[in-house]
Structure 1
Amino acid sequence: MGVADPMGAVRRLLDLRHRGRAEDLPHALLEAAPLLGVDELAVLLVDYEQIALWPLRGTPPDGGEHDVDRTTAGQAFRHAQPRHDEDDPDGPALWLPLLHGAERLGVLKVSAKEAPDRALRDDLRTIAALVAELIASRRFYGDAVEHTKRRLPMQLAAEIIWNQLPPLTFAANDTVVTAVLEPCYDVGGDAFDYAANGDLLHVALFDTVGHGIDASALATLTLNTYRNARRSGLSLTDTYRSIDKWIRAQYPGSFVTALLTELDTATGVYQRISAGHPAELLLRDGRPMPSPPVPTALPLGLGHMRSRPPGVNEVQLEPGDALVLYTDGVTEARDADGNDFGLDRLTQFMAGAMAGNTPAAEIMRRLIRTIVSYENDDLRDDASAALIQWRPRRG
């Protein structure tokens, strides 16, 4: 398989950095394919529910979606590893994951009559990395990415929340943070945030009272007050006080439960405030460990009702430990007989999922699909969760 001009393909794609939209990417890939000696390059993005992969809007006539759980394309997405498919209906295809940092965006389809050799595979991985960067940087200059990812109309409350959130998955300092939220198109009260500053990882999970526009507005204030406090260098205690003050001033009578956490990724020291929120699940070698007591403070917005400062718990993590933060919509999901999903099922699921080498983001995708299925695809409440894995390299 001859490679005509791989750098020419890179240059063609780089043309989109300064002028171009996400919807211009399919045409650029069409022009880049022959420069790499392949027949086709096509982008498929995962939808909001992470159920299927869909051709990026602007792609020439395509074969439709690829199920994440049942196709070779989905396998490449799930494991974030290349997969080759000799039995693709359109001919042999190589599927490459599209990763923006640790965030899984979708897959790049490479169609060719012959399997690419090692040198071409290396070039194609570079192309896939560049495509992921272009999608991440150009998505805000048009709606092609959103049109591709949305398979149902999105309610305004959910629109507001999704536009406030960071990427679902992040990795740095040998630590991974990944989160999920459902129902994707109607979420309004749950939110999360994180940031890595030096060795300190900040993670927060919020569950606001109510639903709809009012809840999303309250969540927006909460998220941005949290960021303001964090960026001002406030401690966990003062961060709690700042958010509590602003919620009480702007939404008197409302409240937000929360876990405000900090992990020193150099030492494994984990600190947190539980503002009326369920305790996180701590897993060590696949076994549940005792969690710090909850709550340590009243929900945000109600802190003035207690004179003493919020309590801060501290836990010394061990390498390989995992923390699962969740809202009550996870454990209180009910089946047709009215049985709660419960903490025991959550613990069993997480312990089983983490027994193998499944990527953290895939564990959480499977968790939220399990929760939705348990409640017969009709969640009564927002269900959100975040996983923190601390895996420092020994020595």
Structure 2
Amino acid sequence: MVMLVDCSQCRTPLQLPHGAKSIRCAVCHAITLIGEPLNAPPTPPPPYFSPPATYSNNYNYYAPPPAPIPAPTQYNHAPPSQPPSAHGHKKAVIIGISYKNSKNELKGCINDAKCMKFMLVNRFRFPEASILMLTEEETDRYKIPTKHNIRMAMSWLVQGCQPGDSLVFHYSGHGSQQRNYTGDEIDGYDETLCPLDFETQGMIVDDEINATIVRPLPRGVKLHAIIDSCHSGTMLDLPFLCRMERTGRYSWEDHRPRSGAWKGTNGGEVISFSGCDDDQTSADTDALSKVTSTGAMTYAFIQAIERGQGNTYGSILSAMRSTIRRTDDEIGGSVVTTLLTMLVTGGSAGIGMTQEPQLTANEPFDVYTKPFSL
């Protein structure tokens, strides 16, 4: 059971380790002495509505629960470095992790983060003050992409959002999977992000990502996620996946848990582009840009926008897939197949499977008529 205590100086809620007699605040660094053990009862789960009898379309229907009042946690406030507040209803978190000087090192992820920021600022008019960057190059220790800092950045992204806001979450780094034991995953695996310190602090599971930046979104708020990592197809645990054929035909797969667990929003809209399917790997290579190392998916996404192929979600997804397939054909043979199927979590490469960028959403829509906008 999670126990919380307010900081004695700044009153920030802190998560108390079991049996601890004192705790240091991450915000003001004051030490709070713990008196009698805290025995707060656990918060009961919110009730779920029964599915209406008139619902059809062969989807299992689960209505969203009433929006619960979020329990105080150490992540319900901005990072201690005071990241800037949003301006013009646009706000973004951009994460690029290179895992430098380790066996997991990647070459293109920080470049991905810089390119994404440039595009958001110059093409989509995101104020620089509204973008929180987490990379190993940052001098502020609270902007290093550790597990703790990524968690706080995700909470900051959605905190205080209002109707009309446009949010972006971009991640370029390692992704992985772990066994799911709740029955919520069709393939039996949860997808995970790998922070810089994942080997000691653990990974961030898709259930937590969904609970932090998907479920709280109120009506009128829009979130786009761009996830450039291995096993990223359903990284946000969104209920619907657009299964697109090479001909351009598509259908929406229902990924809602049969347990009835709610994975949608509180009325907002969430759409995610990801580098590959859950059982695939994403390339970290210079094969696409031919100039510098980048993530294949981030490069293809930006190219689609810059070449005027970003009018609809369907045109972007088709262009991204075409860019990767075209490079495969041009470079040819086993070399590009090897590049585009690198198992970046192990540093090895596989043969015979190229990555296919994916599109997921909280609700199905017509991908060829819905305009894309940030």
Q: Name the TM tier (shorter chain).
A: under 0.3
Higher strand share: 1
Larger Rg belongs to: 1
- Provide the TM-score with structure 1 as the length reference: 0.27
- Provide the TM-score with structure 2 as the length reference: 0.28
Higher helix share: 1
